[in-house]
Amino acid sequence: MDIGWYLAVSALVFCTGAGGVLVRRNPLVILLCLELMLNAANLALVAFARMHGSGDGQIFALIVMVVAACEVTIGLGVIVAIHRRRLPVDVDELRELRG
Amino acid sequence: MTPEAPHIDWAGLSPIVALTAGGIVVLAAGLFRGAWLRRYGVPLLTLLTLGATAGLSIWQWGEDKAIVSRALAVDDLAMFLNLLFCAGAIAAVVLALRDSSPEESGHGEWHALLISSVLGMTVLASAQNLVVVFLGFELLSIPLYVMCATNLRRSKSLESGLKYLIVGSVGSATLLYGLAMIYGATGATGFEQIATALSSQAGLIDDPLTLTGIGLIVVGFCFKVSAAPFHQWTPDVYEGAPTPVTAFMAVATKAAAFGAFVRLFDVALIDAATNWSPLLAAVAVASIVVGNVGALTQTSLKRLLAWSSIAQAGYMLAAVVVADREGVEALAFYLAVYLVMNLAAFAVIVARERETPFGDDIRSLAGLGASRPALAWPMTLAMLSLAGIPATAGFIGKFTLIGATVDGGYTWLGVAIVVGSMLSLYYYLRVVAAMWLSDVPVPAAREPVPAIAGGSPELDAAADPEDGAGQDAGPDRPVSQAEATAVAVLFGAATLFFGILPSPLFDLARDAGSALGLL
């Protein structure tokens, strides 16, 4: 199959993730969308690794998975801490700090 | 047949090994029950680790080698940046000695996170491979997300941690997608192989994959160095984070991100410079304008410094655009100067946050010239230096930056830096005027809500008697802030020293600049 299809799916997933981060308000859903963005990159990396016939991209993807897990863990930790302070778990309501 | 073990260059790896070992020891030391050990032993061990890392980096000075199958470069640029990270982290540890954030989140954890963030910066500064760039970025960012949120009882701190996490992760994901595109276009992850592929294969520079990759990488990096138009998180995160963390984040993250920036763009992607230099130049000018205009109306000192850091990121981006040896030299010099002047300013903010009930509002500085000259002078020098007034280090830094842009054929970027500096005089001098020209304000009885405690004051006062005492302290009440004052005076003096005698620092920056082998 042509690599273009894999890239198209990957780009679609990336855009879904980026759009979700922009419009969703629940931090948990935002974390999910961040995962989508990272996994879109993983798909592209693995597809490119197959295209070039080298293992570099697959190793890269494995490392990204580890990092993504760390990021989600930290994100959930912060959300739990916010929940304990009984702050609203809604990013639009978190506006004590105004840009 | 036994497999041959790969050769490991322990000497080149030594700063990384020292930080890893130190982080583990500090985390374990934080588990002991003795209050003294946690309060003073852990910071002491952290300082030892950072000092050892700085010493090992000095020991490796002058080396020029690639280790770990050419994924990490041990050269003068990496070692120079290592020294900056260690200086920033040491200042943060000293400023946090009496801060409530290590107290609330656990001393061992707080300091171990700081060390792992420095570890990430060290990795990033010597990254020679796309995988290592991503890994370094995440290793420095993830501990910082947590550190921003370590004032667990203050909602602003938690909010800034979550905001930084979301925005930083979007930046990382965008960067990663860009790195994947570059890998797809060139089929290599090592910087040298990417450069070879771009220079040898015809048409690769204008390949859609390469162009998309470069665009996404620029966006990702702009998130990390807080350049416009991806800067909106900066003021919020700087204001909400505990001030020692803000100080560290402001100076060290910037140095690490620019180190990776210059290595990736001026080494790996140098042949595609015709494609990325207009983009980066536009981002630089946008940052200079947005940062300086945004700072004009700020009344919170941390927000003011955040906006000013956006403008300073624009100045430094100009040096990346130039992409020659002189540009890298100017960038290295400016990063060191930026560290010195910002740490002086943040040390004064830390001291005043504890002494006055105004938090980091500009009112906390009123009348400082008369009441606390030991704090007023460093702040004055830092502000004048950030504005680029002669006889301060900031002037020499801007001078070399402008010189590099003019010699590199980007005179109009030099002009943008000059115009931005003129604009910035307004808000920097407002801070100076508040210190020397206004009287000490009398705080209203119940109105003040100090940033250091916020949230639920009763809880905080019960949990941390020191902060409770700081809350009621009037502006005239003598509160000893010896260590913050010492940091302020030290870096204030350094600002003046490098403004009058820049040659020692300039020699180091010249060594660092020639490490990349550019013309």
Question: Which residue of chain A is at minimal alpha-carbon distance from B138?
Answer: A67
CB distance A18 to A41 below 8 Å: no
In sequence order, what are the beta bridge partners of B67? B72
8 Å CB contact of B455 and A85: yes
Q: Which residues of chain A make contact with B156, given a CB cutoff of 8 A? A: 96-97
Q: Work out the minimum CA distance from A1 to partner chain B, whole angstroms.
A: 16
The alpha-carbon gap from B67 to the nearest alpha carbon of chain A, in Å, equals: 18
End-to-end Cα, chain A, rounded Å: 47
Distances (CA, A) of B493 to B85, B106, B476: 19, 33, 26
Condensed to tens digits (0 to 9), the pLDDT of residues B358-403 reads 888 888 888 888 888 899 999 999 999 999 999 899 999 999 999 9
Tokens of B204: 């690769």
Query: How sure is the predictor about B202, in pLDDT bands with cuts at 50, 70 and 90?
Result: confident
In angstroms, the Cα distances linking B353 to A4, A13, B437, B502 are: 56, 46, 20, 32
- A17-47: string of b/e by CB count within 10 Å (b at 16+)? bbebbeeeeebeebbebbbbbbbbbbbbbbb
Question: Does B131 reach chain A within 8 Å, measured CB to CB?
Answer: yes
Q: What is the mean pLDDT of residues B121-137?
A: 94
* Residue B483 sits at the chain A interface (C-beta within 8 Å): no
Residue B474: what residue type?
Answer: G
The rounded radius of gyration (Å) of the Cα atoms in chain B is 22
Whether ipTM > 0.85 holds is yes
Res B467 pLDDT > 50: no
Nearest CA to B81 among B168, B140, B146?
A: B140
User: Is residue B437 pLDDT above 60, yes or no?
Assistant: yes
Mutate to test the interface with A, among B124, B176, B181, B299 (most CBs of A within 10 A): B176
**Mutation for A interface: B139, B142, B159, most A CBs within 10 A:** B159
Asked if B134 lies within 8 A of A67 by C-beta distance, the reply is yes
Tell me phi and psi for residue B65, to 5 degrees. Answer: -145, 160
Pick from B345, B344, B352: nearest CA to B448: B352
Assess whether pLDDT exceeds 60 at residue B451.
Answer: no
CB A41 within 8 A of CB B180: yes
What residues 42-81 of chain B have any CB closer than 8 A to a CB of chain A? none
Cβ A34–B170 below 8 Å, yes or no? yes
| Residue B465, C-beta contacts closer than 8 angstroms, at least 6 positions apart | none
Alpha carbon separation from B367 to B360, B486, B514 (Å, rounded): 15, 20, 46
**Is residue A99 within 8 Å of residue B228, measured between CB atoms?**
no
CATH topology of domain A3-84: Helix Hairpins (1.10.287)
> What is the pLDDT, as a whole number, of residue B119?
96
Question: Which tens digits make up the pLDDT trace of B234-290?
Answer: 999 999 999 999 999 999 999 999 999 999 998 899 888 888 999 999 999 999 999
From the list B61, B48, B119, the residue with the least C-alpha distance to B507 is B61
Residue B158 touches partner A, C-beta closer than 8 Å:
yes
**The token pair that represents B509 in the structure block:** 């920056």
Q: For residue A81, give the nearest of B158, B172, B189 by CB distance.
A: B158
CB-count exposure of residue B434 (10 Å: 0-12, 13-18, 19+): buried
Report the residue of chain B nearest A67, measured CA to CA. B138
Pairwise CB contact (< 8 Å): B240 & A34: no
Q: How confident is the model at residue B185 (pLDDT cuts 50, 70, 90)?
A: very high
**Does A99 have pLDDT greater than 80?**
no
What is the structure's pLDDT at B155?
85
pLDDT score of B471: 42
Mean pLDDT (whole number) for B17-23: 96
> CB-based contact (8 Å) between B201 and chain A?
no
Distance from CA of B360 to the nearest CA of A (A): 14
**For residue B252, what is the DSSP state?**
I
The rounded distance, in Å, linking the Cα atoms of A36 and B385 is 44
pLDDT in tens, A23-80: 988 889 999 999 999 999 999 999 999 999 888 999 999 999 999 999 999 999 999 8
Q: Render the burial of B262-290: b for 16+ CB within 10 Å, e for the rest.
A: bbbbbbbbbbbeeebbeebbebbbbbbbb
Å from B353 to nearest chain A CA?
18
Write out chain A residues lying below 8 Å of B179, CB-based: 41, 60
Q: What average pLDDT does this structure show over B180-196?
A: 92
Average pLDDT of chain B, as a whole number: 88
Structure token pair of residue B289: 């304008």
For B325-364, how does the pLDDT look when each residue is reduced to its tens digit (9 = 90+)? Answer: 999 999 999 999 999 999 999 999 999 988 888 888 888 8
* CA triple B77-B81-B86, angle to 5 deg: 150
Q: How far apart are alpha carbons B359 and B349 in whole angstroms? A: 8
Average pLDDT estimate for B75-91: 95
Higher-confidence residue of B507 and B518: namely B507
Interchain proximity B176–A78, CB inside 8 Å: no
Angle between helices B393-407 and B373-387 (to 10 degrees): 10
Residue A6 — φ and ψ, nearest 5°? -60, -45
Whether B189 has its CB under 8 Å from any CB of chain A: the answer is yes
Question: CB contacts < 8 Å between A and B, how many?
Answer: 130
3-state secondary structure of B65: strand
Residues 220-239 of B with CB under 8 A from A: 232-233, 235-236, 239
- The answer to whether A71 contacts B169, with C-beta atoms less than 8 Å apart, is yes
Quick check: A97 and B153 CB within 8 A? no
Relative orientation angle of helices B482-500 and B325-355, to the nearest 10 degrees = 150
Angle, helix B10-29 to helix B107-125, in steps of 10 degrees: 160
Given an 8 Å threshold on Cβ–Cβ distance, is A97 in contact with B166? no
Compute how many other C-beta atoms are within 10 angstroms of the C-beta atom of residue B24: 14
What is residue B444's DSSP assignment?
A: P
Please report which confidence band the pLDDT of residue B517 belongs to, taking 50, 70 and 90 as the band edges.
Answer: confident
Q: Which amino acid type is present at position B381?
A: L
Closest CA to B276 of B317, B313, B316: B317
CA–CA distance, B19 with B9 (Å, rounded to integer):
16
- Report chain B residues whose CB lies below 8 A from the CB of A81: 149, 152, 158, 161
Under the banding of pLDDT at 50, 70 and 90, the label for residue B442 is low
Cβ within 8 Å, pair A91-B166:
yes
A86 falls in which pLDDT band (50, 70, 90)? Answer: confident
**Predicted confidence (pLDDT) per residue in B55-76, tens digit:** 999 999 988 888 888 899 999 9
Residue B432 has pLDDT above 80, yes or no: yes
Interchain contact B165–A (C-beta under 8 A): yes
* Nearest Cβ partner for A78 among B138, B165, B233: B165
Q: Is B170 an 8 Å CB contact of chain A?
A: yes
Q: How far is CA A43 from CA A19, A98, B194, in A?
A: 18, 37, 21
Per-residue pLDDT, A95: 65
Find the helix or strand (DSSP H, E) in which B400 lies: helix B393-407
- Residue pair B205/B272 in contact (Cβ under 8 Å)? The answer is yes
Q: Which of B153, B156, B183 sits opposite A57 (nearest CB)?
A: B183
Q: Of B142, B177, B179, which has the smallest distance from its Cβ to A14's Cβ? A: B177
Residue found by looking up tokens 């996170």 in the block = B113
